[in-house]
Amino acid sequence: MDEAPEPIPVTRTVDCGTAKLLPDVDRPRAWLLTVDGAPQSYVDLDAPTHLEFEYVRRLAFVLDEAAAPGRPLDVLHLGGGALTLPRYLAALRPHSRQDVVEADRGLLALVAEHLPLPGDCGITVHAQDARTALEAAPEGSADVIVADVFGGSRVPAHLTSVEYARAAARVLRPDGCYAANLADGAPFGFLRGQLANFAAVFEHLALIAEPSVLRGRRFGNAVLLASRAPLPIAALARRTAGDAFPARVEHGAALRRLIAGAVPVRDAEAVASPLPPDGAFSVG
């Protein structure tokens, strides 16, 4: 019996640059998606609950703690990539309703062709701008909003304002949670502004990041959480501390010290997140 052919890399020009799908030599149906050399997603079609990137696991912990195990969720994903988290949630919480918003139509076509979704998975993909989709979403329609939107390696400016934070609050249910993947380094001017935005709109905030990032030793990812209801801080702290790449959950007084004198950023003054230093997120 002939063995299946070795998967080969796929390169395609998409709306936001050059996308590559790189096969994982250790997992037969797993792929790394990069755009202009920056890693965007990792998907194992045979094991959708396998999450390779640490920041994606942190977002998954938030989804895990959003409701009792197995209970379906209504989730709005801003930013699609290769649909790693929607696949994860569909596997663990069948009958969830998930809307995924991704502006890059070329990227969506590449993913649909080479990494197709399973049938009847409850995931609907929309080729649309994230802010436009958020402002059009029904009020109180989401249990969780997951934001992981990068134009290249930066969060676009129109997703960094206090008006954007208010739009997210409108779409969430009263006990819903907003979770965003952000990236910054000391002195955290961008991150502090984002925290100020969401502190102006939500009562409860938290930040998940590796200690080396929080101490300003390197540029890296940080997951911002916001809710009008208390967040599951203890459960998230346990899970993030036990990860292969341990992280801390900052909240309360420690987070207020980080925000310090930062003020909310309005649409008129909003800027994209900082450009990562060379090599911060690149794949060789």
Taking the domains of the chain in order of start, what are their residue ranges? 47-269
Express each pLDDT in 49-72 by its tens digit. 999 999 999 999 999 999 999 999
Rg (CA), the chain: 18
pLDDT in tens, 175-225: 999 999 999 999 999 999 999 999 999 999 999 999 999 999 999 999 999
pLDDT at 284 > cutoff 90: no
Measured CA to CA, the distance from residue 102 to residue 83 in angstroms comes to 10
CB distance 189 to 150 below 8 Å: no
Quickly name the fold that domain 47-269 has: Rossmann fold (3.40.50)
Q: How many residues does the chain have?
A: 284
What pLDDT, in 10s, does the model give residues 236-267?
A: 999 999 999 999 999 999 999 999 999 999 99
Coil, strand or helix at 201 = coil
- How far is it, in rounded angstroms, from Cα 180 to Cα 95? 23
| Phi and psi angles of residue 134, each rounded to the nearest 5 degrees, phi first | -60, -45
